[in-house]
């Protein structure tokens, strides 16, 4: 603590500069990880994937992990798999995650299994669909923040970190952070997301358009640099029933 009349020695907040210096990955992780986990609804699917793999008998994922890895080595892609029901879609995602883990590729990917937020976890008047969509981004951010990256060039502005509090206003800031993490975490090459159809609205055109816009922005944040594939993340989405919002984005 600085004494009265003395300038703070904290380099992260030098009062002689216009704004605080950017935070490193470790500093951002320390500041954010608790809140990110608090606002995350659903899970990363890794434990579920291994449990599913042990129970799996005759079911075979239609999307082979070998294909996933091979395509991702040379290009950034998005793939959408629609199954007949939610269980089949989730099992597809869990099978791919389990195969990646068994192939000792667990450090190459991030993942999220979407869930609809329960009312008890939301502030009064909060939009559960939007909260779930924000949760997907927060989950992916948290998974990359905890990584140790050699010669790490990741930094993030204090102003971005301060806005991540689970509201609609934090959406754009969370995408900025996700994009920067993808850029500075080159070993993360793949992303698996299951169940975004749980986090979509139907029947109200304006809200449907907002869902499409947010998922398009999420995909762009993960694959923002098509000219530099090593700074992009290939994404596999598994959904049930109709393809929904993603059908307007992924061919």
Taken in order of first residue, the domains within the chain and their CATH numbers are 21-242 (3.40.50)
Report pLDDT digits (tens) over 145-154.
999 999 999 9
Task: Look at residue 166 in the predicted model and tell me its pLDDT.
Answer: 87
Question: How many Å apart are CA 4 and CA 163, to the nearest integer?
Answer: 30
Q: Which pTM value belongs to this model? A: 0.86
Among all chains, which residue has been given the structure tokens 């294909």?
Answer: 67
Report pLDDT digits (tens) over 156-206.
999 999 999 888 889 999 999 999 999 999 888 899 999 999 998 877 778
**Three-state SS for 79?**
strand
- Helix, strand, coil: what percent of the chain each, to 5? 50, 10, 35
């Amino acid at each position: 603590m600085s004494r009265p009349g003395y300038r703070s020695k904290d380099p992260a907040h030098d009062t002689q500069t216009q704004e605080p210096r950017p935070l490193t990955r470790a500093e951002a992780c320390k500041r954010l990880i608790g809140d990110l986990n608090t606002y995350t609804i659903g899970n990363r699917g890794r434990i579920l994937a291994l449990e599913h793999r042990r129970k799996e008998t005759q079911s075979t994922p239609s999307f082979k992990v070998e294909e996933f890895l091979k395509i991702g080595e040379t290009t950034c892609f998005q793939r959408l798999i629609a199954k007949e029901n939610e269980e089949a879609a989730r099992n597809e995602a869990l099978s791919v995650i389990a195969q990646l883990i068994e192939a000792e590729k667990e450090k190459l990917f991030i993942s999220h299994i979407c869930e609809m937020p329960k009312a008890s976890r939301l502030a009064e008047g909060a939009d559960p669909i939007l909260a779930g969509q924000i949760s997907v981004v927060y989950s992916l951010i948290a998974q990359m923040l905890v990584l140790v990256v050699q010669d790490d060039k990741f930094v993030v502005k204090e102003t971005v970190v301060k806005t991540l509090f689970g509201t609609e206003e934090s959406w754009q800031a969370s995408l900025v952070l996700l994009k920067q993490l993808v850029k500075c975490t080159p070993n993360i090459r793949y992303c698996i997301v299951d169940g975004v159809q749980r986090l979509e609205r139907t029947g109200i055109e304006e809200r449907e358009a907002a869902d499409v816009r947010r998922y398009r922005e999420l995909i762009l944040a993960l694959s923002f640099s098509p000219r530099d594939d090593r700074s992009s993340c290939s994404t596999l989405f598994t959904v049930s029933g109709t393809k929904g919002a993603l059908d307007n984005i992924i061919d």
